[in-house]
Chains A and B, each alone.
Chain A
Amino acid sequence: MSLAVLSFHFRNAKFSFREAWSNLANGLIGFLLFPLFMFILANMWEKFNGHLGNYTYKEMVAYIGVTEILFITFLRGANITGASSDFSLSLARPRSWLAMQFSALYGKTLGARLVMTSLYFPLLLLFGLDVHQSSQILVRLLILLLPLGILQALYSLLFSSAHVRWEMTSYLTLPFSKLFLIFGGVFAPVSDFSEPARSVLLQMPTSDIFFQPGYFAIKGYFYQMSLVEWSMRICVQAALLLIFNILFFKNSKRYHQSFGG
């Protein structure tokens, strides 16, 4: 890949990143649920799982905040259909559709997540966390946003490619994202689940991209695994997603029918 191509995709990602910040008021209305979820889910955890004593209430508020930032921006329908909408046109362009959409989705994800993160810090203070603890959580989250954005973009792209080939796969987005919501530990840490569910879920890719980053943000280390081990798991997941993406894209390119729309 030449420098010119890399520069193009970097600018493409930057453009999409800025798009998320262009209509801040509209975006923030969509995120009004965010503090409500932090408050209600943390209270729900305290009522149902607080007796386990694995986390404090403040830690749980921070954890829910991190997982919500990651989940609300995960597999967004508009991004998935938007990426697949100009598939026919892209075949005539001298750029790879896959690479172009990946850079755009990565930029959009990072932009949306940073918009929410800008809300997150003052919310942590509002919920009673001190400045030092809040800053530490924020820095850890910001470090993880870069690699996690890659996985989000690859998952979304997988659905975009599938949508071009089989339109009805758009219905699968919701149950698929629900798998991540429920089994990834978005509502409550996987470590609080009872056995054998806990051991099984900890081995799933769902917990690698929601529970483990949330746990890392509040504790400073991953749950029952090292940084190297988590990084390896993320790399394997990204590699597999890339292979599936290429296969889906080739299939879509071969069987896609355009009626000149």
Chain B
Amino acid sequence: MFTLFFKAIRYNWSAQASNKANLTSAIITMIVNNILFLYGMWLMLFDGKEQNKILWPYYLTLTVLAYIGWGAVNFFTGGLKIMGEIIDNGKLEPMLGTPRQPLILIAISDSSTTALGDLLQGLVTLLLLGWVSDMGWVLRAGVCSLIVTINFATIFIAAGTLTFFMNRGSALSQFLIESTLSFTMYPMTKILSVPSRWLLYVIPAALTATLPMSWIENATVSAFATMLLVSAACLALSIQFFKFGVKSYRAASFIGLR
């Protein structure tokens, strides 16, 4: 399985690198896009507002989690994000006819060039975090970036699987995925009052922002254990959900030239 995975990454990368102009412009524009967003948020929320500056490291860490998590999943396993389209367009059928795990085949079927820009930006911002916070905070943010990457994959799998059961599952899956990214980048627990925080579990930014940030902020064993347990349970559940979805999948008799 791992050999196949690494081969897919290599071939996807070589396909992208074959068009250097395209690759470079995709990465540069994504980095420019992210810097603009970060600068704009700084202007809007923190510039000239001394009482808000205490939240700057918290906000910056959220962007690290979002950029690394989103970038890594979309670059290495980009097919997960478009799982809904793959199922809707009947592209899953050829994958079901092979002795490999269909989820792995879906994951490696695509790779987003622009996501590499996100990933690079996230890694650079992680290094820069050291300027506004202590080393422990940076290390915890680094560990959480890995966990958030897995959590993004979990959400992509669960959201994409909805397509097996619904007519407009693909659109709903995109909605869930994009809302998770958007709301990972807002300091939700600082914005919302306690009774309104149920919303985080619906979106579901709790997996990608609230739980990791709780450990990064408090550095307690219980927060770390909660994050790990919830992440592992959600990953197992989403894989089971996918397996259940595949069993109830009815083929659209798609015949495509390959």
Contact = CB atoms under 8 A, between A and B. Distances in A.
A30 B175 contact: yes
Interface stretch (A102-110, A115-123, A182-190, A233-241): A182-190
B45 A48 contact: yes
Nearest to A182: B40
Interface in B155-204: 168, 171-172, 174-175, 178-179, 182-183, 186-188, 190-192, 196, 199, 203
Contacts of A258: none
Contact of B182 (A33, A179, A182): A33
B63 to A, nearest CB: 14
Interface string B33-49: 10011011101110111
Contacts of B257: none
A36 B178 CA distance: 12
18 contacts: A29-B168, A29-B172, A40-B199, A43-B196, A44-B186, A48-B44, A168-B21, A171-B25, A171-B26, A171-B30, A175-B32, A181-B37, A182-B40, A182-B41, A183-B40, A188-B44, A193-B43, A194-B49
Interface of B: 21-22, 25-26, 29-30, 32-33, 36-37, 39-41, 43-45, 47-49, 51-52, 114, 168, 171-172, 174-175, 178-179, 182-183, 186-188, 190-192, 196, 199, 203
Which 3 pairs show the lowest CB-CB distances between chains A and B?
A182-B40, A194-B48, A175-B33
Given A47-B191, A49-B49, A174-B33, 4 more contacts: A26-B171, A36-B203, A49-B45, A174-B29
Interface of A: 25-26, 29-30, 32-33, 36-37, 39-40, 43-44, 47-49, 51, 168, 171-172, 174-175, 178-179, 181-183, 187-188, 192-195, 197
